[in-house]
Amino acid sequence: MSPPSAVTGSSSTTTGSASPPDVSTQLSRIERLRAKCKPVIILIFAGSMILDIFSSTALVFAQSSIAEHFAVSQAVASWTLSAYSLTFGSFLLLVGRAGDIFGHKQIYTAGLAFFSLFSALSAGITSSLIALIVLRAFLGISAAATIPTAYALVATTFQGKALEMAVAGLGACQCIGLIIGVILSGVFTETSLGYRGLFWLSFGLGVILSLLAFLLIPPTPSRLKDMRSLDYGGAVIVTVGALLLVLGFTEAQAGWDRAVVIAPIVVGGIVFILFSLYEEVVLPRWMKDVEPLVPRRVWRYKNLVPILGTTCCYYGTFFILILNGSRFYIDVQHRSIIISAVQFTPVAIGAFILMPIAGNFYNHRFMPPKWVIALGQGLCVASVALFSQNQVDSSYWHWSFPSLVLYPIGSCFFFVNFLNIVYASAPQEEQGLISGIVQMAGQISTALAFGIGSSFVTGGTREQLLEQYRRSFYLAVALAGLAVVTAVVFVRSIPPKPKKNEDEEKGTAETQLEKSSAEETVK
């Protein structure tokens, strides 16, 4: 603020004349509030991430009650799960690109608002399963709108060590959200509210998070002038391809030798090939003004491709362990739904406690990310291998508990590094796109791994089911082992960053805040 304006403001105060609040004063107050509430902002991102992943598993134990309520088979009722997974995994890349054009905050807050709306509508559905499935599909799109945009907003809101910790924390929230979804699914299924209680919970949390996001997240610029250059064709093609692949892999849980499995996978693969040709041939030759949805330069960013591989393996391992593990407790060990769900609590608690600790060692000179990722995936191998040794009548404390204590340690080592080492070589404006690519690949691989793992379980006696579930756990061990090999062989080391003078950065921020406070006082 210039000196003349300060004098004017002072004189107006002296003469007692009432003047309306200056617009710049109001903006300054909002900016100061946002600066003070940065810890709350990361909690908003963490909450939405947990809510999104929680919704993907929230109906795991509710399939029987849904089938009974709507008088359909469990295979039909399972579409309440599949519809969410289909759209959630398929729209990640599209909404991430939309955030680049319309502004990441706008897409993020809109996603949270629509998530709340569709949750409330889903809770009110009592007579039409088709309506519930459609609403679950829209819920998946709304949730997808918050994932890549959250990572992009983190990149613009935080810097340095705070950014690395925030990215690591969001990754851990996916682990926590999955476990919370399983636990609450078991708890609500046994109450009078049933599965509708999960939707009401999502609605309430979504409203709170959307209001806080609107107030506290700093505005982000839009690029509406670039709308003409948006790759609409590529967005449609890749979304259709992802939808078909997720559909085929999801349906494969009941067997691979059916047309409803083979056709979507084959056609989806062809669509992705067409997408590559469209991006590499059609756009450069005939549509030069259109920016590709996934520019070729993205694939040159250091470690993106191997991190895609390790992420796909990790997601597949985790979902097999949690979803097939929970069914194992029910089908083989005859545990109740609530007990089966609660037994996975150590994973969520461990991730919550260990992530802040592990985050402090990112890119430490004695702990290079390449080897930390490999170590983390090695611990996941050991964890699932332990879990696979469960017997029909095993005590929870014998195999399951040590396995589920070990797994979050490996998860934290992975999440602290998996996106941070890619971001290290990527410009800030493309970090949202990168997270969209990684997350979409993770969701497709989840559907594939879980489809294969579930196809092993065909039914029978408890002893037969034990062997069938074990085969699915051995698949998870193999995936985690493949992640170890990928990290060791293909992930490239990045130089340890020199210690940043964080005190200087903090001092600069405090000086700016004090300056704005002084200006406010003068006003």
DSSP 213-254: HHHHSPP----GGGGGGS-HHHHHHHHHHHHHHHHHHHHGGG
pLDDT interval class at 5 (50, 70, 90): very low
Directed axis angle between helix 259-277 and helix 232-251, to 10°? Answer: 160
Nearby residues of 180 by Cβ (< 8 Å), 6 or more positions away? 50, 54, 348
Q: What is the pLDDT of residue 109?
A: 95
Q: What is the pLDDT of residue 521?
A: 41
pLDDT tens-digit map of 397-455:
999 999 999 999 999 999 888 888 888 888 877 777 888 888 888 888 888 888 888 88
Q: Looking at the domain 35-224, which fold is it?
A: Growth Hormone; Chain: A; (1.20.1250)
Q: What is the mean pLDDT of residues 329-335?
A: 93
Q: Are 266 and 247 in contact (CB under 8 A)?
A: no
Q: What is the pLDDT of residue 25?
A: 60
Q: What is the pLDDT of residue 194?
A: 82
Q: What is the pLDDT of residue 388?
A: 96
State how far the Cα of 192 lies from the Cα of 478, in Å rounded to an integer.
Answer: 41
* Model confidence at 20: pLDDT above 60: no
pLDDT tens-digit map of 371-380:
999 999 999 9
Nearby residues of 419 by Cβ (< 8 Å), 6 or more positions away? 151, 167, 171, 307, 434, 435, 438
State how far the Cα of 442 lies from the Cα of 437, in Å rounded to an integer.
Answer: 9
Structure tokens at 338: 């609530």
* Model confidence at 234: pLDDT above 80: yes
Lowest-confidence region among 46-55, 154-163, 400-409, 500-509? 500-509
pLDDT tens-digit map of 447-458:
888 888 888 888
Q: What is the mean pLDDT of residues 288-295?
A: 86
Domain 298-497 in this protein, CATH class: mainly alpha
Average pLDDT of the chain is 84
% of the chain residues with pLDDT over 70: 89
pLDDT interval class at 3 (50, 70, 90): very low
Look-up of token digits 């309440």: 80
CA 398 to chain centre: 32
* Model confidence at 36: pLDDT above 80: no
The top-scoring range by mean pLDDT among 95-104, 179-188, 298-307 is 298-307
Q: Are 117 and 123 in contact (CB under 8 A)?
A: no
Q: What is the mean pLDDT of residues 31-39?
A: 76
Kindly report the length of the chain: 523
The top-scoring range by mean pLDDT among 172-176, 283-287, 397-401, 442-446 is 397-401
Count CA atoms closer than 13 A to 131's CA, side-chain side.
12
* Model confidence at 520: pLDDT above 50: no
